[in-house]
Structure 1
Amino acid sequence: MGECTAITAQRPLGAGDRASVKSALRALDVIEYFSANTAPARTVDVSEALGIPNSSADEILRTLAKRGYLCFNRTTKRYAPSYKIVGTANAIEQGFFGGDRLRSLMTKLRDETGATVCLTTQNDCWIESVAEVRGDWQGHTQPLDFERELICYGDDGWRPATNFSGALLAWHSNGEIIELADRSREIGIGPRAPSLMKELIDRVSRIRARGFALCQRNDTVQVDSIACPLRVPNAVTPFAIGILGQHLFDNERDKAKMVSTVQAVIGGRA
C-alpha cells in the first residue's frame, strides 16, 4: 500500500519554515532508508538512494549520530542505526499502542488466514497505511497501491473510496462524515457544487452495523480484502485493520468463513 498525500499546512510557510520542514522530512527518510537497507552505509550511499545533495545527507547523518540515533565508524566512514531507535520506538509502542498487541494481532491474522495484513489510519481526508505483514500471496513485490482518499465521488455520488476507507469512516458519526465530505469537496476531491450524501451515509451505516467492509476481486481490483474498524488505545484518529489476498474467497460460504475468522481474531476469540 502506498504513502498517502501529505496534509496541507494550516498557515503559509516562510523560507525558514520550509527549510526546517524539508530537513525534518529528510531525517525521517534517512531512518526509513535504514529500515529498508540492512547494512551500514556511507554518506554517498544515503545521498544517492534518497536523491538529496551529499552535503544535506552528511549534515543529517552527523546530527542523528550526535543524538545517539546512529552509530558512526570513523575508519570505514559508515553509519548504522543505534539501538536507541529501537528503544524509542518500543517506548512509543508501549505508551500509545498497548505494547506488542498490534504486532501480535497482525501476525495472528496472517497465520489464521494466510493473507497479507494491513493496518491503516485516517490522515485528514486521506488514508494512511502504517504497517503490513506479508502473507502467502507473493503477487506484489512493491507496496500495494490503493485509492488514497477516504471518500470519492462517482457516478452514484459520494462513497467510501475503498473498503478500508469505509472501515475508518465507521468510527465517525453521520455528521462528521458529512463534514469530511464537505472538506474533501473544498480541497478538490469531488464536485465543487453541493451534492447529496445519502448513499455515502447508507454505505457507512451498513459497514458500521456489520463490523466489516468487504471487497471482492474483479477486472479492475486484483485482490480480495476484508477491513474492520479497530479500537486502538490513546488513538486520536480512527484505525482499521484488514487482510488482502489474491484468492481469499470464491463464493458466499468462503466469504462468511473468512469474515468470521477475521472478526474472531480481532475479538480475541481465536
Structure 2
Amino acid sequence: MPRTAATTDRTGPAKAPADGDDLNSSAAGRVATVLLAFGDRGTSGALTVSEVARHLGRERSQVSRMLKVLAASGLLEQDQETRAYRLGWRMYHLAGRAGDQRLLALATPALRDLVARTRETALISVLQGNRSFTVARESSMQSVQAGGWVGRTSPLHSCASGRALMLHMSDEDVANLVHGDLQGAGLGPRAPESMRSVIDLIRQERARGFTVAIDELEDGLTSVGAPITSATGETLAAINVSGPTSRLARHVEGIGPQLVLTARHVSARMSVA
C-alpha cells in the first residue's frame, strides 16, 4: 500500500501541530504565534499592538516588544500613521520560497487546465499536522465560486482534499488523524460523524480513485479531490475542484475521472522532474 509523506513506518502519521500551550512555552514559540496571528481568520491584514495582545491573550507590553523586534527584522512593517503592524516584504520574499516549489510549478498549469475544463475553482492542498492546508488556488470566472482558501486549514475527514490526502493510509493512521475532529462545530450538515463512517467512506473512494464531499465542510459547498503521489507512492498533495453544491454536485461523477488523470499527470511529472 502506498505511503503518505507525512507518515513513517515506525511512528505512523504526523501528529497535530503543537497547541497554544506548547508554543507559549518557549520564546521562539511565542514569536511564532504573533506572526501566525496576522494570518488567522477573523483578523484583518493590519493589527495594532492591542489587537494582537487581545487576540493572543497576552500582556500588551510583551507583545509590543516582540512586534518591534519583528519589524526591525523586516518580517513585519508598521504604518506610521495608524501605528498598526502588517506582514512585511521580507516575509513575502520568504513565503515565495516556501514549500515544494517543484510541486507548485508543475501543478499550476494543471490547475489552470482544470478551471478551463470544469469552469470551477481548482486548488492544491498538503497535509499539515491533522489538517488539509491549501497552498495554491486557480479561480474560475464564475460569479459564484469557492472562497479564498489559500492559507486555510480544514478537518481532513470532512473535505475532499483531506480524504484524498488520506486515501492510501491505513485505517489506523486515518483514525489517529481525525479522531479529534469528529462531530466538530461549524461543519456542514453532511459531514461524517463517526469513525466507522469515515473509514467506510474512504474505502469506497479508494476503490474509484477520487473523493467527493457534498455539504460536508460547509453547507452549499461541493468538492472533488484526488491524490498527487511520488514515484515511491508517497502522497505529496491533493488536487481538488470546488464550487457551489447547486452547480457542481450533479457533475462530480464526470469531474472525478478527469481529476484522477490530472493528478496522475502531475505525479508522473514529479517523478521525473
TM-score (norm 2): 0.60
Q: Which ranges of structure 2 fall in alignment gaps of 5 or more residues?
A: 1-14, 184-193, 267-273
Q: Which moved more, 1:201-210 or 1:47-56?
A: 47-56
Larger mean Cα displacement after TM superposition, 232-241 or 57-66 = 232-241
Deviation at 1:107, TM superposition (A): 3.8
Contact 1:163/1:227 (<8 A) preserved: yes
C-alpha separation between the residues in 1 aligned to 2:63 and 2:48?
Answer: 6
Cα separation, 1, equivalents of 2:226 and 2:122:
11
Amino acid at match of 1:113: T
For residue 120 of structure 1, what is the aligned residue in structure 2?
125
Give distance in 1, aligned partners of 2:80 and 2:196.
64
Q: Does 1:17 align with 2:25?
A: yes
**Is the contact made by 1:113 and 1:261 (CA closer than 8 Å) also made in structure 2?**
no
Distance in 2, Cα, partners of 1:225 & 1:237: 19
Report the residue type matching 1:83 in the other structure: W
Distance 1:91 1:236, change over 3 A: farther
Deviation at 1:184, TM superposition (A): 5.2
Instruction: Give the aligned partner of residue 167 of structure 2.
Output: 170
Letter in 2 for 1:91: R
Task: Report the Cα distance in structure 1 between the residues aligned to 2:144 and 2:205, rounded to whole angstroms.
Answer: 29
What's 1:150 paired with?
A: 156
Structure 2 CA distance for aligned equivalents of residues 188 and 108 of structure 1: 33
Q: Of 92, 98, 106, which residue of structure 2 is paired with 1:92? A: 98
Amino acid at match of 1:245: G
Q: How far apart, in 2, do the equivalents of 1:89 and 1:244 lie?
A: 25
Superposed CA deviations along residues 31-73 of structure 1, whole A, max 9, x for unmatched, are: 669x963xxx574586489576553443233222222323457
Contact 1:122–1:128 (CA under 8 A) maintained in structure 2 = yes
Number of aligned pairs? 235
Structure 1 residues 122 and 224, CA gap change in structure 2 (3 angstroms): same
**Which of 34, 44, 51 is the aligned partner of 1:26?**
34
Deviation at 1:119, TM superposition (A): 3.0
Report 1:1-270 matches (<5 A): 7=16, 9=18, 13=22, 17=25, 20-30=28-38, 37=45, 43-44=48-49, 47=52, 50=55, 54-71=60-77, 81-93=87-99, 96-98=101-103, 100-135=105-140, 136=142, 138=144, 148-151=154-157, 161-172=158-169, 176-181=170-175, 189=182, 203-216=201-214, 221-231=219-229, 238-246=236-244, 247-249=246-248, 251=250, 254-268=251-265
Calculate the aligned-residue CA RMSD, in Å: 4.8
1:132 Cα deviation after fit: 4.1
Write the letter of the residue equivalent to 1:211. G
16-25 vs 47-56, greater mean Cα deviation: 47-56
C-alpha displacement of 1:227: 1.0
Of all paired residues, the percent bearing the same amino acid is: 17
Supply the distance in 2 between the matched residues of 1:92 and 1:60 (Cα, whole angstroms). 23
Q: TM-score, normalised by structure 1?
A: 0.60
User: 2: CA distance between counterparts of 1:235 and 1:36?
Assistant: 40
Structure 1: runs of 5 or more not aligned: 1-5, 152-160, 191-195
Greater radius of gyration (CA) = 1
CA distance in structure 2 between the partners assigned to 1:235 and 1:179 by the alignment: 16
